[in-house]
Amino acid sequence: MTLLAEGVLNAHWDHKLPVNLARIAKGMEVVVAFAPLGRVCALVELAAKRKPRIVIDRQHPLERQRYGVAHALGHIALHLSIVHISRCRRYSVGR
């Protein structure tokens, strides 16, 4: 798993801090959208014929939103590397 994370960073991170998660998401061809999710901070949507999508709730603190996006990108990288997606799957990152 470390090699996977290292590969994502090598491919999409510009080595500047703070890490530009939007740039990484764009490089991974992941759509990031905002919508109310209640207690859930981030939601990952994976579907066979669409780009992966992360939905973030703006009501959560910025640090929590950033964690949600980073965590979701990790799930997307992991799942897309080992799973052939044949139907819509949804994963949430709770509070």
10-residue block means of pLDDT along the chain (95 residues)? Answer: 80 93 95 95 90 96 96 89 48 51
pLDDT the model gives residue 87? 42
pLDDT the model gives residue 74? 92
Query: Which tokens is 1 given?
Result: 């798993």
Order of all β-strands in the sheet with 89-93: 31-34, 53-56, 42-46, 89-93
pLDDT the model gives residue 85? 37
pLDDT the model gives residue 60? 96
Predicted TM-score (pTM) of this structure: 0.80
Count how many Cα atoms sit within 13 Å of the Cα of residue 28 in the half-sphere of its side chain.
32
Counting Cβ atoms within 10 Å, is residue 25 exposed (0-12), middle (13-18) or buried (19+)?
A: buried
Task: Note whether 65 and 93 are within 8 A (CB).
Answer: no
pLDDT the model gives residue 35? 97
The residue type of 92 is S
What one-character DSSP code corresponds to residue 64? H
